[in-house]
């Protein structure tokens, strides 16, 4: 029923790591929704994903930390369509996109100072405020 998912050149999810279960979907569908199991629950053994570096594996664990079941497997479900095969394809695509997102290294943040115009504006405001206070001091004398 399922086959291995190839994400990138050397990164793939073997078929043995995928556990597919079809259940009844909620939502519209009339009587069909009560009879046919079209929703797909896909569970993935994260440790079995092949070709991930340790950094990518850590990013993947961070990305899917809220989707893990009690056994530590990633849970993905799809009930977008009334067709079980299309929902399975959708769930597999969600998994592929999640792993692809974990493969991308985040750009390092470089600390930057305030722009020159903001610095000038701040100093100008301080000068205006100081001048206002100096004028008040002269009025009281």
Q: What residues does each domain of the chain span? A: 5-103
Percentage of the residues of the chain whose pLDDT score is greater than 90: 30
DSSP state of 79: -
Average pLDDT, the chain: 86
Task: Please state the pTM of the whole predicted model.
Answer: 0.71
Q: Compute the average pLDDT of residues 33-57.
A: 85
Reported CATH class of domain 5-103: alpha beta
User: By mean pLDDT, which of 5-9, 91-95, 105-109 is the weakest?
Assistant: 5-9
Supply 43's token pair. 């569970």
Residue 36 is predicted with a pLDDT of: 78
DSSP state of 87: H
| Residue 62 vs residues 19, 52, 58: alpha-carbon distances, Å | 21, 14, 6
Contacts with 14 (C-beta within 8 Å, 6 or more apart), sequence order: 4, 48, 50
Whether the pLDDT of residue 31 is over 90: the answer is no
């Amino acid at each position: 029923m399922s086959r291995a998912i190839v994400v990138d050149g050397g990164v793939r999810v073997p078929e043995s790591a995928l556990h597919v279960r079809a259940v009844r979907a909620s939502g519209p569908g009339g009587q069909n929704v009560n009879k046919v199991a079209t929703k797909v629950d896909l569970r993935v053994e994260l440790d079995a994903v092949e070709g991930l570096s340790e950094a990518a594996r850590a990013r993947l664990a961070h990305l899917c930390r809220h989707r893990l079941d009690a056994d530590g497997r990633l849970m993905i479900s799809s009930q977008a369509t009334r067709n079980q095969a299309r929902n399975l394809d959708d769930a597999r695509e969600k998994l592929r996109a999640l792993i692809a997102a974990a493969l991308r290294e985040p750009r390092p943040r470089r600390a930057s100072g305030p722009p020159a115009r903001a610095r000038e504006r701040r100093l100008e405001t301080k000068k205006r405020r100081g001048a206002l206070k100096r004028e008040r001091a002269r009025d009281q004398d």
